[in-house]
């Protein structure tokens, strides 16, 4: 299980200060509700953003009651996806707003994220409706552009991943 934690610093600052970060573990175990959680090591994962690839440390935790472990994922990472949130949002913006892709190496990635975005469209719409009223157009493309616009404004405010996770118990762009 993974939980999303908000970090104000970027990827490079997170990597440099990870040893000194006081990562706050959740108050309750997401599985059993137990209150005794403790740090359980770390692991490394790759993160690809617009600039380069990173190998970042992720804090793990374990519940003393049910003995299940989990990890504290920073909000610039997506669960089970190597690409950063910023990179995915830029790819989605590019394909939804501008259409065709001319760079061959980006085509398969963009197709994957476009398909995943449309698979999660109902979850995004219900999430946005719980935040406030949203009027959607009838055509699928216009609806996708409107939903993406609202999601990207939440992303700019640094609230998208954490609020989506807490409200739906689902990771953003998860299958």
- pLDDT, tens only, 15-55: 888 888 878 888 888 888 889 998 888 999 999 987 789 99
Q: Output 22 or 86, whichever has higher pLDDT.
A: 86
Q: Which long-range contacts (CB under 8 A, 24 or more apart) does 161-165 make?
A: 161/4, 161/75, 161/78, 161/85, 162/4, 162/5, 162/6, 162/75, 163/131, 164/127, 165/3, 165/4
The pLDDT score that the predictor gives to residue 1 is 79
Closest CA to 78 of 68, 92, 70, 88: 88
- pLDDT, tens only, 99-152: 766 667 777 888 888 899 999 999 999 999 998 878 888 888 899 999 999 999
The pLDDT score that the predictor gives to residue 162 is 82
pLDDT at 68 over 80: yes
pTM value is 0.82
The pLDDT score that the predictor gives to residue 100 is 65
């Amino acid at each position: 299980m993974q939980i999303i934690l908000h970090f104000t610093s970027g990827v490079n600052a997170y990597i440099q200060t990870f040893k000194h970060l006081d990562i706050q573990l959740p108050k309750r175990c997401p599985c059993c509700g137990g209150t005794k959680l403790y740090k359980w090591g770390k692991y490394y994962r790759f993160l690809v953003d617009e600039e380069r690839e990173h190998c970042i440390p992720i804090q793990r935790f374990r519940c003393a009651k049910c003995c299940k472990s989990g990890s504290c994922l920073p909000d610039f990472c997506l669960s089970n996806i190597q690409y950063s949130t910023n990179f995915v949002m830029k790819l989605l913006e590019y394909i939804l707003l501008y259409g065709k892709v001319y760079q061959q190496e980006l085509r398969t990635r963009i197709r994957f994220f476009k398909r995943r975005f449309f698979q999660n469209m109902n979850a995004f719409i219900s999430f946005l409706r719980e935040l406030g009223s949203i009027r959607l157009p009838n055509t699928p493309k216009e609806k996708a552009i409107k939903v993406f616009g609202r999601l990207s404004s939440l992303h700019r405010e640094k609230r998208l991943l954490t609020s989506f996770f807490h409200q739906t118990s689902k990771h953003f762009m998860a299958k």
